[in-house]
Structure 1
């Protein structure tokens, strides 16, 4: 079988926090990010536990080998973000000021292997409906039922694309970051609702984004104080540029 080499994702800066945690794997870094938030007074945090069906774990190398057999070779830049657990999830709320967030990162090899139900929204233009149906789901918010998802699109040619869909805000657009940077910002924001808009071209001055900008403003101010070893300056600059 002739292998198709998936071209790597677009170049994008990686937050400093990646290097500050040394050689820890992504799962360990994610667990640390969740634990640091859970330890904060005023935070209520819930998680769901998912398991592979019997015999479907295989380990990271095993899952990559299965993709290789299907003619898919992951770029080296993606491999540090491949994990064997079915998903990484946290849903949380901070009490004062009120900040809410959730993330549920899917297992990338399983997503690339296919088998999921294509996403649909008949309200979108036809061209966007086709893109939505192509996406491999990488992040969602199952506890909130908010209709927010992020997906990976791999064109026949060119760079990988990250798209964000917000059903309640009727928004669907490509984000200005790559897969690795998406996951890094999940760790940094702990999945605070709306952080993806900071990498969109959306004008967030519109009234429908009032709750989003309030949540992000509170998150950036509060997290900068709670986690002084992490740098929120770039995200704050992005928010300011959209207001």
Structure 2
């Protein structure tokens, strides 16, 4: 199940090395969260996994198929309906769209009633739910998520975290976030990124199944400890 491995990966721009001979194993079928200060290179690691960037040395293994990507921006096409946006992967791959499956996914994200509406009529949270349905429609075993909830209000964010964790269970998910609470709720594994060239630190996750409940004392304790660790990195700049 799509274990992703970084093997002696070196990448950078000119004399500025993001990582040098980075070795890292990410468990298949689990959600791994990358955390670190802004500009540390979290999103760049996702782009390396996606094949949008190529390492100067080493290799990344475990990707047997294309990946699905979900970012901060929903990137919905305004001239397509919600349903057509969900089925976009079929159009791009020259396949016949599966309207029944797309509608079933919209039902899962509680948006079936706006299937024929344009994205312009939706709120930010609704648009991200459409983006989630589109991600699921692509049926990829590996899903890369680059701060997909960063621009949402707190309550919408929490709701979408729960929905996403539930619907992506069993897939290999790499999630970039700046939010310690989000990491502690959604992660099977947490990887802290430090310095440049990058060093990695495996951080213990709270007990319990993903998505973890907000009222869990262990979750709140883990969030506080993780925030403290990230704050140390900020103070060393």
Structure with the bigger percentage of strand: 2
Normalised to the residue count of structure 1, the TM-score between the two structures is 0.29
Higher relative contact order (CA 8 A, sep 6+): 2
Normalised to the residue count of structure 2, the TM-score between the two structures is 0.30
